[in-house]
Structure 1
Amino acid sequence: MQYLELNALHTELAPYGLVILGFPCNQFGKQEPGENSEILPALKYVRPGSGFVPNFQLFQKGDVNGENEQKFYTFLKVRVWLPQDYTTALPRLFWEPLKVHDIKWNFEKFLVDPTGRPVMRWFPRTTLSCCCGLMCILGRACEQGMGSGCQETASP
């Protein structure tokens, strides 16, 4: 479950300046149907459950694609593209118009440097252990020997 990995990554790299931001969205298979007030209790008791509480900033739910997409995502998508094309089944996407560089699914990841410049983008199913590139960009983490191993998984 990526929420658990996000917590672990934040715990490990926050001392080096990493800040993780989560943006819930219901545009992919309607997987986040609840109200904003239901998101944290759902994480705590259902998915992933077992009392889970995110240790990173989780924002209110919003659109990442289409006519009503958040400006933050418009900014990210035009500056860093995915390294290769992949598609998602159209019946599972809930926005218009569809664009080439749209977010493809939940848990797509972006790395933004301390100056606010987007520098990297990962597929939704890229494991967070693959963030060795992220650790190297942070620099200080690499100096201390962190950042071993990198595996990318297939797209949805």
Structure 2
Amino acid sequence: MSEQTIYDFEVKTIDGAMKKLAEYKGQAMLIVNTASQCGFTPQYKGLEELNRAYADKGLKILGFPCNQFGKQEPGDENEIKNFCSLNYEVTFPMFAKVDVNGDGAHPLFKYLQKKCKGIFGTEFIKWNFTKFLVGKNGEIIKRFAPADKPEDMSKDIEEVLK
């Protein structure tokens, strides 16, 4: 059996449809766990700016709402979708709410944590807006901390888009 890749995962969109990450083969991805009531929530603006700057060059930003950190994503998918659209004009794909840590963590996030550990070699995600940069070949390139601003990530993104 071959080793699992990021393209083996299937995720539920914010509208409830199932989507295979294999549909993003050949594109870079920035996978982010998000929240609507977090101190980092204004990063949606920067993420959308990255989306507008790099979507045509092969970057897909994927947002995964999560309520595990301070209960900062209490809404349902429809409320989250409306919040992102009305407040930040988000056009990048958003997905159904997931857990990113613990036994109930979505398999995608278990995989990301295992493949790209955080500071001091920790696997768990410490807060909302942790970001994983995935190369065009599916390789997990880098983990960005919640405090890492999207606007400071352009150099790394441009490197994976070459």
**TM-score, with structure 2 as normaliser:** 0.69
Higher fraction of strand = 2
Q: What is the deviation of 1:56?
A: 0.3
Matches within 5 A, 1:1-156: 1-45=42-86, 49=87, 52-82=88-118, 84-85=119-120, 100-131=122-153, 132-139=155-162
Q: 1:12 to 1:64 in 2, by over 3 A?
A: same
Q: What is the deviation of 1:26?
A: 0.1
Over the aligned positions, Cα root-mean-square deviation in angstroms equals 1.6
More relative contact order in 1 or in 2 (CA 8 Å, sep 6+)? 2
SS of 1:23's partner is strand
Q: What is the alpha-carbon distance in structure 1 between the residues aligned to residue 136 and residue 55 of structure 2?
A: 13
SS of 2:160's partner is helix
Moved more, 113-122 or 23-32: 113-122
Q: What is the alpha-carbon distance in structure 2 between the residues aligned to residue 127 and residue 117 of structure 1?
A: 22
Q: What is the deviation of 1:85?
A: 3.8
Moved more, 6-15 or 35-44: 35-44
Q: What is the alpha-carbon distance in structure 2 between the residues aligned to residue 39 and residue 81 of structure 1?
A: 28
Unaligned runs of 5+ in 1: 87-99, 140-156
**TM-score, with structure 1 as normaliser:** 0.72
Q: Which runs of 4+ in 1 moved over 4 A?
A: none
Matched positions, count: 120
Moved more, 18-27 or 110-119: 110-119
Unaligned runs of 5+ in 2: 1-41
Q: What is the alpha-carbon distance in structure 2 between the residues aligned to residue 110 and residue 126 of structure 1?
A: 11
Q: What is the alpha-carbon distance in structure 2 between the residues aligned to residue 9 and residue 63 of structure 1?
A: 25
| Greater radius of gyration (CA) | 1
Identity in percent = 38
Q: What is the alpha-carbon distance in structure 2 between the residues aligned to residue 54 and residue 44 of structure 1?
A: 5
Give CA-to-partner distance per residue, 1:76-126, whole Å, 9 cap, x none. 1111112x349xxxxxxxxxxxxx311111110001112222111100110
Q: What is the alpha-carbon distance in structure 2 between the residues aligned to residue 37 and residue 133 of structure 1?
A: 32
Paired position in structure 1 for 2:26: none
